[in-house]
Chain A
Amino acid sequence: MKAFVGARIFTGTEWLKDGALIIEENRIVKVLRRKRLPKNAEIINVKGKFITPGLVDAHSHIGMVEEGAGRDYADLNESTNPTTPDIQAIDGFYPDDPAIRETRASGITTVYITPGSSNPIAGLGAVVKLKDGYLKDMILKDRAGLKLSFGENPKATYGVNGKKPITRMAIAAIIREAFYKARVYCNKRRGKERDPQQEALCLALRRKIPIRAHAHRKDDILTALRIAEEFNLSIIIEHCTEGHLAVEEMKGYKNIIGCVSGPLLYFPWKVELKNLSFKNPAILSEHEFLVAIMSDHPFTHAKYLTLYAAMAHKEGMDEIEALKAITINPAILLGVDKKVGSLEPDKDADFVIWSHHPFELKSEAMEVYIEGKRIK
């Protein structure tokens, strides 16, 4: 048993000025308010430092676009066919991508990896821990979400070459047709044909996994919500770039679990990014949507996740809410909040010891632990 004493601790929901984090092996025992420490604990003095849970990045392609390897080593977009529900991000994930080492050294310990947004029905994502060892041991939750893509990207992939979808209408049609077909399959299937593509769609239809809907513009956000309502799918809006302009309308939809905002440190080089703003997560949060902040690595590098949250705070997001957006909120959205996202009893001992408040530019992740094992 180890006790990290003397730091300011962010538990995932609040700050403790002078707390103690107790861990045993790979689990968190508890966080204490006062220094009444267990007798047999090894005391580690971290006075003056800051402790947070290991950070969670809710939307990333890390490992799929290898840093420095170039265009031939990008496993991001299967742009040969707009409907690929059964392809899995984990099958394109390279655990030895140098970016992974850099990112976990910056305190990010859990990541949701997903296929890219060229395809209206893009495929399955997974939650991984950025730890050493075999690939299978890194997977925290396999088949954790089904990505759908709305807006310009599918049109820019297929439409510009004269293939379907050329319009937003066709994107929606492709998705709806697929779900209608899948519904039939799901209802019939008891010992019948096993089709991996239909299986993937069924997972969503049966609400076993949420839809992760890539949508920037208001119209695309609403289309995604409309479709989710039609098929009673649980849905998370990815990017949600114009979400801050659509909050009232969004509230009218019951199926939405939350939003993952970002990448925010970005340039509006597409029309649908015109209203990109760092105020987005603050406004969504004020309207009581569960908000996480993403890196969308490699589009902005995953290792700067704290910077993105810090800037959201600077632009109006409550400090605690901004910290939650990269810890407990994404853990809830990813369905892994029983294991990660906050420093609560029995959760994985994933935590970071910072030199300063993680939102301070000069702050450095001095020590990073995953499941009690120090990886930095």
Chain B
Amino acid sequence: MVIQNARILDFSNKKVVEGDIEITEGRIKRIAKGLKGNKIIDANGLFLMYGMIDPHTFLGIAEDGVGYREFDLNETSDIITPQMLPSYAIHPEDPAIKESASWGITTAIVMPGFSNIIAGAGTIIKTHGKSINDLFIKEPCCIKVNLTRTPIAYHQKDKLRTKMYAYAVLRKKLEETREYMKKSEKKRDNSKEDMKLLSMVLKGEIPLLVHVHRRDDIERVIALKEEFGFSLILSGCEEAHLIPSLLKEHNIPCILGPLMRADKDPETRNTTFRTCKVLEDHGVKFALSHAQSENPVKLLRFLAMYAHKAGLSKWGALKAIAQTGYEIFGLNDMGNIEEGKIANIVAFDKDPMDWKSKVVWTMIEGEIVQRGEI
């Protein structure tokens, strides 16, 4: 299949290139001019960008229109629940999934919510399919930890009142995991799913994704990483702009967001879109996300616009929604329209950073799954 006459956004060279794209078996085979093929899609000058990724969502588990009582977001019966796997809770019929695809988000990471210290696993999905088997890309892709005051707000009645305790509980669980890993295979209790998942973290097989707001918490989490040796991704990071050198020094990637918020409490009082520029200037890797806030996933492109307005470079803004997220989670065959990558492509009628631009079609793995914004 060949897409002809496209204006291709090339993140590597930060240019718009005119040309054709040949797609075979769901992957981009060639980009050149004058390509031919059996099936032709005339892009007719449309702007093609790689499919966007929102790396922190509750798609399918906090479903549109059903009401919060039906949510499968927060297992509040305990504060440590690493074994929560979203694949068993994602409802593929959640209208938000199709809607997100129609607005150009081809990939999303679904995670449990903010109520627990160790919340559970992250699941990478594509935004198209009838059953979880169709949507499923990878699980677990990370284990989510919350070190903000939100778990305290949920559990302060009887389980958790201070952040000191949250850190102590997390540390204890990691030590417990270390001990579990020391045991020989025969002696290990393999029904302990929580231990197995956390072992994957301590072995470096999957990262720990830690949601924090304040800069001193970022420092603490980095110290924990140094102590236990796991791979770290920071989420939230509203105060990352106060300590960018530390993030650069330890090469910690960030999933920034939610930035478009107003209900700021003392922990998030320094939330600003200006964080993006500071991180870009310091060479810190970051992706943008709505982060399970009350802003719908479909508006991801507008987050990039606001980040650009606040000083982030234009290509930096586009990469933050369509490339870096893939990189951070090791999805190396995704994240730019280039040969070899999976053919997740979105066609816009104008430059994607133009507020008037609209998605004309969304392609996932070489198949057009949506035509136009829902």
Interface residues of A (CB under 8 A from B): 66, 69, 72-80, 84, 86-89, 91-96, 115, 123, 134-136, 193-197
Contacts and interface: CB of A to CB of B under 8 A. Distances in A.
A51 to B, nearest CB: 32
Interface string B139-180: 000000000010001000011111111111001100100110
A72 B167 CA distance: 18
B219 A123 contact: no
Given A75-B163, A91-B220, A194 B168 contact: no
A134 B162 CA distance: 22
B252 to A, nearest CB: 14
B246 interface: yes
Contacts of A197: 172
23 contacts: A66-B266, A72-B266, A73-B149, A74-B162, A75-B163, A76-B162, A77-B161, A77-B162, A78-B160, A79-B161, A80-B159, A84-B168, A86-B172, A88-B167, A88-B168, A89-B164, A91-B168, A92-B163, A94-B214, A123-B168, A194-B175, A196-B171, A196-B172
A76 B178 CA distance: 29
A74 B163 CA distance: 9
A44 B163 CA distance: 45
A194 B149 contact: no
Given A72-B149, A134-B246, A86 B214 contact: no
Interface string B186-220: 00000000000000000000000000001110011
B269 to A, nearest CB: 10
A193 B162 CA distance: 26
Nearest to A92: B164
A285 to B, nearest CB: 33
A196 B159 contact: no
A91 B223 CA distance: 11
A80 B168 contact: no
Nearest to B159: A80
Interface centre among B163, B179, B219 (most CB of A within 10 A): B163
Contacts of B214: 94
Nearest to A79: B161
Q: Is the interface of A mostly helix, strand, loop or mixed?
A: loop
B217 to A, nearest CB: 9
Contacts of A77: 161-162
A337 B226 CA distance: 29
Contact of A196 (B175, B215, B246): B175
A73 B167 CA distance: 16
B165 A84 contact: yes
B172 A78 contact: no
Contact of A80 (B158, B219, B265): B158
B374 interface: no
A87 B161 contact: no
Top 8 closest pairs, chain A to chain B, by CB: A91-B167, A92-B164, A87-B164, A78-B165, A87-B168, A91-B164, A75-B162, A135-B219
A79 B153 CA distance: 14
A196 B162 contact: no
Given A134-B219, A135-B219, A136-B219, A91 B163 contact: yes
A195 B164 contact: no
Nearest to A123: B164
B232 to A, nearest CB: 16
Contacts of B41: none
A259 to B, nearest CB: 25
B216 A93 contact: yes
A56 to B, nearest CB: 22
B243 interface: yes
Nearest to B175: A194
A135 B267 CA distance: 17
A342 B219 CA distance: 31
Contacts of B161: 77-80
Nearest to A73: B266
B164 A115 contact: yes
A193 B179 contact: yes
A78 B246 CA distance: 30
Contacts of B215: 96
A98 B164 CA distance: 20
A178 B115 CA distance: 31
Contacts of A134: 219, 243, 246
Contact of B179 (A91, A115, A194): A194
B168 A135 contact: no
A80 B154 CA distance: 13
A139 B267 CA distance: 22
B171 A92 contact: no
A290 to B, nearest CB: 28
Nearest to A193: B179
A94 B175 contact: no
Contacts of A91: 163-164, 166-168, 220
Contact of B164 (A78, A95, A194): A78
Interface centre among B161, B178, B220, B243 (most CB of A within 10 A): B161
